[in-house]
Amino acid sequence: MLTAARIREYNEVGAIVVPDVLTAEEVARLSAVTDGFVERARGLTGHTEIYDLEDSHSADNPRVRRIKAAHAHDPSFAALTRHPKILAVLKDLWGPDIRFDTAKLNMKCAGFGAPVEWHQDWAFYPHTNDDLAAVGVMFDDMAMENGPLMIIPGSHRGSIYDHHANGVFCGAMDPENNDVDYGKAIPLLGRAGSITVHHVRAVHGSAPNVSDHDRRLLLFQFRTADAWPLLGFPGGIEKFNGLMVAGQPRQPRLEHVPVRLPLPPAVKQGSLYENQKGMKNRFFAIPETARASEMAK
């Protein structure tokens, strides 16, 4: 799937977009499944095991921010963890042995979709080596105006930044307290059906979606089979090995990688969005359309 130049680009930048990985028919089916999930969120008054809701959600006007562990709730999402073209991209980057971790569908709906503050995924789940990446499947065109994923090129080779506030993990970097030049961020743009791949250490975030185009991105966490989580695997080794999606399970490979642990845990649990409410200084403004007060008008 990837030429040598594209592999070099990934290694240098820390992210790539691979166009047209899914067909229009595949995207249409996934979109329809997603619409069903949103419809079923009607009537909910708070977050559930499946739904993370926008602050401005109401029972009558469902506003889903994220479908958590999407692969666990619908077979069409689960099937993507073994999609041959997605696995071919990862094999080009890492070789044959690949393990899935988890997935989430970030909705970022037109008009109010929440921002994601700058962070490194590695701060949430450090492993014995850093051959981990998130693969984002675009259900909608991802353009500048609808809050695309943005990354700081080359940041995957730099520091691991503090993601704590007031002594507890908050899942976000304080924009006033590090040496990152956010002006250098590049957006990962593409047509629906394209995928993004970003390195686990890459600094990334995204602005709110105040446009009138949805920006739904189904994010999968993958890793090489020899990257083992430092925080353990609660389901035991059988479950861990059950997450293999290509090749063979491997013993851990220990690399000299910088590490921070997400401990003590965030005050607000349930999702990255809730974790990030603990941060001191936000980078992205929350638009009025996304505020809970809007719904009371």
Ligand X SMILES: O=C(O)CCC(=O)C(=O)O
For ligand X, the closer of residues 152 and 219 by Cβ is: 219
Two structure tokens written together for 179: 């040496």
CB 44 within 8 A of CB 59: yes
Shortest distance in whole angstroms from residue 19 CB to ligand X: 18
Q: Kindly tell me which of 121 and 226 has the beta carbon lying closer to ligand X.
A: 121
C-alpha 172/C-alpha 138 separation (Å) is 23
Among 218, 243, 217, 219, which residue's Cα sits nearest to residue 229?
Answer: 243
**Hey, is 267 helix, strand or coil?**
coil
Count of helices and strands (H, E) across the chain: 7, 14
Token output for 284: 């992205």
Under DSSP, is residue 119 helix (H, G, I), strand (E, B) or coil? strand
Which residue is closest to ligand X by CB? Answer: 206
User: Residue 221 Cβ, how far from ligand X at the closest point, in Å?
Assistant: 9
Cis ω on the peptide bond leading into residue 264 (within 30° of 0)? yes
C-alpha dihedral sign at 116, 120, 126, 129: positive
Give buried/exposed letters for 237-251 (b at 16+ CB in 10 A, else e): eeebeebebbbeeee
Cα–Cα distance measured from residue 114 to residue 210, given in angstroms and rounded to the nearest whole number = 9
Q: How far is the CB of 107 from ligand X (least distance, A)?
A: 9
CB of 211 to ligand X, least distance (A): 14
Q: Tell me the closest approach of the beta carbon of residue 147 to ligand X, in angstroms.
A: 7
Least Å distance, CB 202 to ligand X, is 10
Residue closer to ligand X (CB basis): 139 or 240: 139
Please, which residue, 103 or 246, has the CB nearer to ligand X? Answer: 103
3-state secondary structure of 259: coil
- Site residues (CB under 6 A) for ligand X? 104, 106, 116, 121, 149, 204, 206, 217, 219, 272
Q: Is the Cβ of residue 57 or residue 119 nearer to ligand X in the bound state?
A: 119
Provide the minimum distance between the beta carbon of 113 and ligand X in the complex, in angstroms, as a whole number.
Answer: 9
Residue closer to ligand X, measured from CB, 118 or 240: 118
Our CB check for ligand X shows the closer of 54 and 121 to be 121
Tokens, residue 248:
């063979």
Q: What 3-state DSSP class applies to 161?
A: coil
